[in-house]
Amino acid sequence: MFYREAGQFKTSYRADQGILTIVQDRFVIGAFAFVAFCVVPFFINDYWANAILIHVLVYVLAALGLNILTGYCGQVSLGTGGFMAVGAYASYKLITAFPEMNFIVAILMSGGITAAVGVVFGLPSLRIKGFYLAVATLAAQFFLVWVFNKFGWFFNYSPTGMIVSPPREVFGFLVTGPQASPEARYLFCLSFVVVFALAAKNIVRGRVGRSWMAIRDMDIAAELIGIRPLEAKLTAFAVSSFYIGVAGALYFNVWLGSAEPTEAFDINQSFFVLFIIIIGGLGSILGSFLGAAFMVLVPITLKTVMVDGFGFAVGAAKHAEVMLLGTLIILFLIVEPHGLARLWQILKEKLRRWPFPY
Amino acid sequence: MRLKLLTKVLAVAAIAFPLTTAVADAYELVIPATVYRTGPYAPNGIPFANGYGDYYRMLNERDGGIEGVKIKYLECETAYNTKQGVECYENTKGEGPSGALAYQPLSTGITYQLIPKASADKIPVFSMGYGRTSAANGKVFPYIFNFPATYWDQASVFVKYIGEKEGGMDKLKGKKIALVYHNSAYGKEPIRTLEELSKKHGFDLQLLAVDHPGQEQKATWLQVRRKKPDWVMMWGWGVMNQVAIKEAASIRFPMDRFIGVWWSGSENDVLPAGEAAHGYLSGAFHAAGDNFRAHDDIKRHVYDKGNGGGDRDRIGEVLYNRGLVAAMWTAEAIRTAMRIHNTKEVTGEHVRDGFEALNVDAKRLAVLGLEGFTYPVKITCENHQGPGKVALQQWDAKEKKWNFASDFYTPDADVVGKLIAEDSANYAAENNITPRTCN
């Protein structure tokens, strides 16, 4: 009844190519953006910023990156943690070596450096596929973390190998360091995520994105119709690593503020982002948002309900949380193997026919 | 049907677990604890958390809190994970009218997270003998306390002990000392100090890293066997300790030449190796055992009423006592804060002042029922690391008991002091901090 495109005519090619072709969609997304940009900053506090919103946003960005590579181009990667580490360490080196450099430029440059590293580790994808490629990217994960742990230059020879993000401003507002306000840090991350999500949406709808999907669906057929696997796969690695690098830089600078390679960027990080895109939906931009929100919020909600609500002992609650989260993930994947994004799509279909389904 | 069953199970579970009843009427002293009762480091996290919590519970039961103000002790599970530590910190820091009064992160990673954050929020962090060593410089780190001694003190003391056993510091020349360390910020802490000391005394330092969580150490100990160091030091935590001691036993490395940091010297670490662990050494700044009056009080006021954090027969284990001593110093700091600010409604800022004026001497220890449990500690505005004294304790596998193997040594202040000044100056420069003046 409410969600129906009847009567909405497209009169130009431009309108036909829009991202949101239905008025209701535009309205809902517009309302979400309005709330996120104009309402949330008035209510945000340290807990909401640090524990929930920035946490989700950083993982949305990382998931977007991995979704481009795995969801759209079909190249399985377990190197996300390592690539996030590249982004984090590149930004650390840049902002400590050139303190006067604009922080946004530093973040984008660390994305660029990660893209270059990603391309190098993407080279094996030209010869190996599937599980074998996953193992090759796993090597990247371990190698990169080892490098950042081993060579003092990367962490400015600090005695512990820990990197600490110095305070930096954007447009006169502090966004890193302990004095940065939660509003500034949240809006900074949100702006990055919105711009990058829009860019991703447009890339995957364009020529490059189509060539990725062609490679994903059947690489031999794609080659036969004139798509060069070298170009398609390496661009996917580059763009994906760029996103993950930026996510890593935000993760370290804006969210955590300090990091050590073995803990902050370990293999669990790679799995976590992979779970996000599997739960959210492979090959879906919306799925990256839904998956990140699910994976971050469900454990915190479970914990809050069990500890604050039922008064469980914290250790028991943690064990229960791990079991419940695992069960929920399995349940979700049984109900909808294509992830939360597909669930949302089904819901939209149902909504169109409501209240007279046929 | 299934849903019903699930709700029933949940309801039963909710009743079965002790409800933390909190009456929010009176002013309470909020002390959060970032504990880890799960994950690879839980074997060490659990006894510490029990000791830490039991002491506060005992104060609540016996004295009605600190100076009559009840303590609200809040646990939050981190699984030794920094990201969950962030959530815990943000969740607990604003609790109640007092706000959190002090944090005891018990994780180097979480401590590094909290150093800038807690300083901005004006909540003291008491990283007791761990975390960032250069936080000893109170001029740069006004809210961070790492007394009674740091990793660098400990490294220096171990070298002193080795020198003594070898028959003089000049005998160290040409000796080989290996460091087996957890490959993380925590394990790397002593390296710089040991490098300086190796230059000074001319011993040969060998570094052997063990990756998280430390279950796989065959290669490490093969190297020990090949390089034949005269002494091995270890900076380990969790399951890594047990594995290392077992591996050392299996290559027949003499246990009385194997020294662990004080986080590598608890019952959990030596028991799995059985008799073979006899003679193993570790650092210590407090006694083991439950033969102190404070322990009796805990048993009587907490465990007899069924409110204990853990098993009754594990009271007095090394890590339990470490949690207890951490709670004792924190409680004394709060008491001092109440005295100098002349109010019972203290805040984080007051407690910081309490820590800086902390003076727990032998007399005070006796009053607290902990006579001879640890050494006197006096903190000042400049010096947040306290006296820095470290003793060595030795495991007696037959009696299943830790005994002191040495007196308390003082560290090599020339080497350690210089490194602290250097590292804290770096931190201040990187983060645009102007060191405050102390008077």
| Distance from C-alpha of A300 to C-alpha of A97, rounded to nearest angstrom | 37
Beta bridge partners, B389, equal none
pLDDT of A287-332, one tens digit each?
999 999 999 999 999 999 999 888 888 989 999 999 999 999 899 8
| Distance from C-alpha of A270 to C-alpha of A79, rounded to nearest angstrom | 6
| Distance from C-alpha of B360 to C-alpha of A252, rounded to nearest angstrom | 39
Using DSSP bridges, classify how beta strands A173-174 and B401-404 pair: parallel, antiparallel or unpaired: unpaired
Which B positions 167-186 lie with beta carbon below 8 A of chain A? 183-186
Domain range for A192: 21-353
Mark yes or no for CB contact B184/A161 under 8 Å.
Answer: yes
- CB A86 within 8 Å of CB A117: yes
Q: What is the set of domains in chain B, with CATH numbers?
A: 24-150+289-388 (3.40.50.2300), 151-287+389-419 (3.40.50.2300)
Residue of A nearest to B119 (CA): A178
pLDDT of B208-244, one tens digit each?
999 888 888 999 999 999 999 999 999 999 899 999 9
**What is the torsion angle, in degrees rounded to the nearest 10, for the CA atoms of residue A243, residue A246, residue A247 and residue A252?**
160
Our CA angle for B378, B371, B281, nearest 5°, is 85
Structure tokens given for B87: 């959530």
Structure tokens given for B116: 């800038």
Q: Which amino acid is at B358?
A: L
Would A41 be classed as within a structural domain?
Answer: yes
Q: Which amino acid is at B196?
A: E
Rg over alpha carbons for chain B, rounded to the nearest Å, is 22
| Distance from C-alpha of B101 to C-alpha of B95, rounded to nearest angstrom | 10
Which range of A3-17, A211-225, B4-18 scores highest in mean pLDDT? It is A211-225
Which of B18, B42, B109 is closest, CB to CB, to A260?
Answer: B109
The CATH number that applies at residue A271 is: 1.10.3470
Structure tokens given for B144: 């961070």
Concatenate the DSSP letters of all residues of A258-316 into one string. Answer: EE-HHHHTSHHHHHHHHHHHHHH-TT-HHHHHHHHHHHHHHHHHHHIIIIIIS---HHH
Position B15 scores a pLDDT of 45
Which of B90, B108, B116 is closest, CB to CB, to A47?
Answer: B90
Q: Which amino acid is at A173?
A: F
Sign of CA dihedral B399, B402, B407, B412: positive
ipTM: 0.90
Our CA angle for B355, B358, B362, nearest 5°, is 145
| Chain B positions in Cβ-Cβ contact with residue A51 (cut-off 8 Å) | 86-87, 90-91
Position A263 scores a pLDDT of 87
Structure tokens given for A1: 């009844």
| Distance from C-alpha of B48 to C-alpha of A315, rounded to nearest angstrom | 14
Mark yes or no for CB contact B423/A149 under 8 Å.
Answer: no
Position A8 scores a pLDDT of 86
Residues 6+ apart with CB under 8 A from B197: B155, B156, B159, B203, B412, B415
B298 touches chain A (CB under 8 A): no
Which of A160, A162, A314 is closest, CB to CB, to B75?
Answer: A314
| Distance from C-alpha of B292 to C-alpha of B213, rounded to nearest angstrom | 34
Which A positions 202-261 lie with beta carbon below 8 A of chain B? 255-260
Peptide bond preceding B411 in cis form (omega within 30 of 0): no
Position B1 scores a pLDDT of 43
pLDDT of B87-108, one tens digit each?
999 999 998 899 999 999 999 8
| Distance from C-alpha of B324 to C-alpha of B77, rounded to nearest angstrom | 19
If we measure between CA atoms, which residue out of A121, A56, A54 comes closest to residue A82?
A121
CB-hemisphere CA count at 13 Å for A221?
A: 7
- CB B404 within 8 Å of CB B155: no
Peptide bond preceding A337 in cis form (omega within 30 of 0): no
Residue numbers in chain B where pLDDT is lower than 70: 1-25
A71 SS3 class: helix
Position B6 scores a pLDDT of 55
A106 SS3 class: helix
* β strands within A79-191, DSSP E: 163-164, 169-170, 173-174
Position B9 scores a pLDDT of 53
Q: Which helix (H) or strand (E) holds B76?
A: strand B71-77
| Distance from C-alpha of B256 to C-alpha of B259, rounded to nearest angstrom | 8
If we measure between CA atoms, which residue out of A57, A299, A87 comes closest to residue A191?
A57
pLDDT of A160-181, one tens digit each?
888 989 999 999 999 998 889 9
Shortest distance, CA B90 to any CA of chain A (angstroms): 5
Write down the mean pLDDT value for chain A: 93
Residues 6+ apart with CB under 8 A from B46: A315, B35, B36, B37, B310
Largest CA distance in chain B: 78
Mark yes or no for CB contact A160/B113 under 8 Å.
Answer: no
Structure tokens given for B195: 């490098």
Position B236 scores a pLDDT of 93
Position B20 scores a pLDDT of 42
pTM: 0.91
Would A183 be classed as within a structural domain?
Answer: yes
B410 SS3 class: coil
Q: Which amino acid is at B361?
A: D
Would A13 be classed as within a structural domain?
Answer: no
Mark yes or no for CB contact B116/A50 under 8 Å.
Answer: no
Distances (CA, A) of B121 to A286, B93, B100, B335: 36, 9, 10, 21
* Count of structural domains, chain A: 1
| Chain B positions in Cβ-Cβ contact with residue A178 (cut-off 8 Å) | 116-117, 119-121
Using DSSP bridges, classify how beta strands B401-404 and B391-396 pair: parallel, antiparallel or unpaired: antiparallel
Our CA angle for A264, A269, A272, nearest 5°, is 145
| Distance from C-alpha of A297 to C-alpha of A340, rounded to nearest angstrom | 14
- CB A44 within 8 Å of CB A186: yes
Distances (CA, A) of A234 to A113, A204, A211: 15, 15, 12
A162 touches chain B (CB under 8 A): yes
Q: What per-residue string of b and e applies to A178-191 under the rule 16 or more CB within 10 Å gives b?
A: bebebbbbbbbbbe
Sign of CA dihedral B371, B372, B373, B379: positive
Q: What per-residue string of b and e applies to A219-254 under the rule 16 or more CB within 10 Å gives b?
A: beebeeeebebeebbbbbbbbbbbbbbbbbbbbbbb
Mark yes or no for CB contact A313/B18 under 8 Å.
Answer: yes
Would A7 be classed as within a structural domain?
Answer: no
Q: Which amino acid is at B236?
A: G
| Distance from C-alpha of B110 to C-alpha of B151, rounded to nearest angstrom | 17
Mean pLDDT for the stretch of residues A67-93: 96
**How many other CB atoms are found less than 10 A from the CB of residue A93?**
18
Mean pLDDT for the stretch of residues A56-76: 96
Position A5 scores a pLDDT of 79
Would A166 be classed as within a structural domain?
Answer: yes
